[in-house]
Structure 1
Amino acid sequence: MSPTVPVSFKELLDTFELVSMANPLGEYQAFICRQTGKIYCHSDSEDFAEITDELPHDVEDDEKYIAVPDKRELDLGKPMVLDFAREFLPGAFDEVRYIFSKRGAYQKFKALLVRKHALEQWYDFENKATEQALRRWCEFNSIAVTD
């Protein structure tokens, strides 16, 4: 697989965040064209009508296009939270693990972070982990990035 034309990392990160936000319902997809570097975004939902492109007819061709992953595909859900808790909240690790064994975990986790005065630390950790994971994904998939 040959490297793609360079893709803006900022644009890819923004697209990744949108795909991750919408994908519990599978409402949003994005693909990178390996030949032009263009990112095509698509959704059948009215909520995303302004940011939806018409997909190329051959978007299923894995040699020409690659789907932008979501957070779960890059293990940026529960595994990342547990890594954070292990490193920054070791005294609350069991509580965090318990929170993530139930529904509504992120809301309860955020409340715990506020109580522990660790919310900003979490956001910094999450942003760095997301960027590192997305850059690794790009490297693995021979996607050249700029910025």
Structure 2
Amino acid sequence: MVTAKFDDILTAFEFTSFGGLDEVEAYLSLERGTVHYSTDAEHGDPEEVPDELETGPYLTLPRKNDLDLGADLVMRFAVERLPGDVEAIVGFFRHRGAYGKFKGLLERKGKLQEWFDYEEAAKESSLREWCAENGVELV
């Protein structure tokens, strides 16, 4: 079992999940508990990547959608907290700009902060669960 800082894993998770940065991957060293990033060559290199990244003892960190924290989370929130608006929210996610429309609805209903808190709690809980399932002890 490797020991790693939760803050480092959370930062890497947020960075790789931000705005569709599919060219960025984050890896956890299973020997040192350190986080490393890898990018497509055309997008630059945020740090020195170890040579053994592809072959050594590294675990690829998940992204938002790997942990069902995208539209699935929105729908769970809607069912739990906005049952009368579920149909409208489902409709938002059939078209572009869904998150903007969803957040506009939340703002009108006075539930935007409630959504942010819900999303943050789900993200932390899911990431901690993923770490436990993958033998990563958090400090």
Class of the TM-score when normalised by the shorter of the 2 chains: over 0.9
Moved over 4 A (4+): none
Aligned pair count?
137
CA–CA separation in structure 2 for the residues paired with 1:124 and 1:60: 36
Bigger helix share: 2
Quote the residue 1:55 is aligned against.
49
SS of the equivalent of 1:32 reads strand
Unaligned runs of 5+ residues in structure 1 are none
Unaligned runs of 5+ residues in structure 2 are none
**Root mean square deviation of aligned Cα:** 1.4
TM-aligned CA deviation for residue 15 of structure 1: 1.1
- When normalised by structure 2's length, the TM-score is 0.92
CA–CA separation in structure 1 for the residues paired with 2:135 and 2:92: 37
TM-aligned CA deviation for residue 21 of structure 1: 0.3
TM-aligned CA deviation for residue 27 of structure 1: 2.5
Give aligned-pair identity as a percent: 36
36-45 or 115-124, larger mean C-alpha shift: 36-45
- When normalised by structure 1's length, the TM-score is 0.87
Give 1:56-95 correspondences, 5 Å limit.
56-61=50-55, 64-95=57-88
CA–CA separation in structure 1 for the residues paired with 2:113 and 2:78: 14
Quote the residue 1:15 is aligned against.
12
Aligned to 1:30, which of 26, 31, 39? 26
TM-aligned CA deviation for residue 11 of structure 1: 1.5
